[in-house]
């Protein structure tokens, strides 16, 4: 069984293992997993599962609500030799218009949060939304997550990609993560075992799935002070980034010592549009869906930006957005 994290590199449908359910079949199917409340459905549109609001159907899709259901879903895929793609909030993701073959497991319903006042540690399930977690910590007067309030993803994706903002990142506060292997076994790994670097970890492109994570925070502060700091971080995001239209956040990694947005803006690409996909006027490292964009529009705009910036600055921008499925450059 092959597992593709939503944070994996570009892959093609033809490279995935095949199974008895054809990816282009339009027949709807439901598969009930014994002993669980899980129903695997076929031909589920993924547009509603990504912040770009684009993407074709999942050949098969399931949304487990607890660890046992997740393990049952993985077991089903393993027995039937079906490739698996893990999808969290879909906020850093571009899904092909042709969709994804195999089984897509949506983890956003895996929810559990525990604040331990004795240790200052926060243990949280992979599907918890990051902004809500930042506000929950602030309400308790726990420091350490204020910077993350504007990250529109889930904990699982944040751990996999070492998400960051405002000169902070998840590696700064992570203690450990619980990981599910393709054979169904669980293990707890330390931050050091994940090999963190800028916006990446050893989990990217691998077959292990984050089920929960434990963070070290600092309790005991004045909640009003932490709430105010969290609000400042949120307002900064709203003032500088185009949240009024669907996007995936920052499209490219910053090629130090440059900022990707600066390079794109200085290349004269702000406002440039392919189809209904546009380089945002407010922040050039954002591509927004102006309404009715296709994944192909966004993909082609990404490549156009890369080519123009490389021509002007001799710098090849590396996408931070992860692409799943089959794409063809125009």
212 labelled catalytic:
no
Contacts of 100 (CB under 8 A, 6+ apart): 13, 46, 56, 57, 58, 59, 85, 324, 325
Using CA atoms, how far apart are residues 124 and 113, in angstroms rounded to an integer? 4
The token pair at 44 is: 């589920």
Torsion angle, alpha carbons of 12, 15, 16, 22, to 10 = 80
The token pair at 253 is: 């990694």
The token pair at 94 is: 């571009």
Q: Report the Cα 190 to chain-centroid distance in Å.
A: 21
How many of the other CB atoms lie within 10 Å of CB of 308? Answer: 17
Using CA atoms, how far apart are residues 93 and 91, in angstroms rounded to an integer? 6
CA–CA distance from 107 to each of 67, 229, 314 (Å)? Answer: 10, 30, 39
Cβ proximity of 107 and 85 under 8 Å: no
Out of 101, 148, 250, 294, the active site residue is: 250
Cβ proximity of 107 and 86 under 8 Å: yes
146 labelled catalytic:
no
The token pair at 90 is: 């879909």
65 labelled catalytic:
no
The token pair at 226 is: 């932490």
Q: Report the Cα 222 to chain-centroid distance in Å.
A: 32
- Counting every residue written for the chain, the total comes to 330
- Helix, strand or coil, per DSSP, at residue 251: coil
Out of 199, 201, 208, 237, the active site residue is: 199
Burial class (CB in 10 A: 0-12, 13-18, 19+), 198: exposed
Catalytic residues: 199, 250, 320
């Amino acid at each position: 069984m092959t597992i593709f994290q939503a944070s994996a590199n570009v892959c093609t449908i033809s490279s995935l293992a095949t199974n008895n359910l054809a990816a282009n079949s339009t027949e709807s199917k439901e598969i009930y997993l014994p002993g669980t409340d899980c129903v695997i459905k076929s031909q589920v549109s993924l547009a509603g599962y990504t912040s770009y609001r684009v993407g074709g159907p999942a050949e098969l899709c399931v949304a487990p609500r607890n660890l046992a259901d997740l393990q049952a879903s993985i077991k089903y895929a393993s027995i039937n030799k079906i490739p698996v793609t893990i999808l969290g909030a879909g906020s850093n993701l571009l899904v092909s218009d042709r969709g994804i073959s195999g089984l897509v497991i949506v983890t956003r319903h895996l929810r559990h949060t525990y604040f331990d006042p004795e240790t200052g540690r926060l243990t949280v399930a992979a599907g918890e939304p990051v902004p809500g977690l930042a506000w929950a910590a602030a309400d308790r007067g726990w420091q350490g997550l204020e910077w993350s309030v504007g990250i529109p993803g889930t904990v699982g994706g944040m751990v996999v990609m070492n998400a960051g903002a405002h000169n902070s990142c998840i590696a700064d506060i992570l203690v450990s993560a619980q990981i599910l292997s393709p054979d169904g076994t669980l293990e707890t790994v330390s931050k050091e075992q994940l090999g963190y670097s800028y916006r990446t970890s050893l989990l990217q492109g691998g077959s292990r799935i984050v089920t929960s994570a434990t963070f070290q925070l600092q309790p005991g502060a004045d909640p009003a002070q932490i709430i105010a700091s969290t609000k400042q971080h949120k307002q900064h995001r709203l003032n500088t980034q185009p949240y009024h239209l669907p996007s995936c956040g920052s499209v490219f990694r910053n090629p130090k010592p440059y900022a990707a947005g600066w390079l794109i803006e200085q290349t004269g690409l702000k406002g440039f549009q392919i189809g209904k996909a546009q380089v945002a006027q407010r922040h050039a490292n954002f591509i927004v869906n102006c309404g009715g964009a296709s994944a192909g529009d966004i993909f082609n705009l990404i490549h156009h930006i890369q080519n123009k910036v490389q021509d002007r600055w001799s710098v090849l921008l590396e996408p931070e957005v992860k692409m799943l499925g089959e794409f063809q450059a125009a």
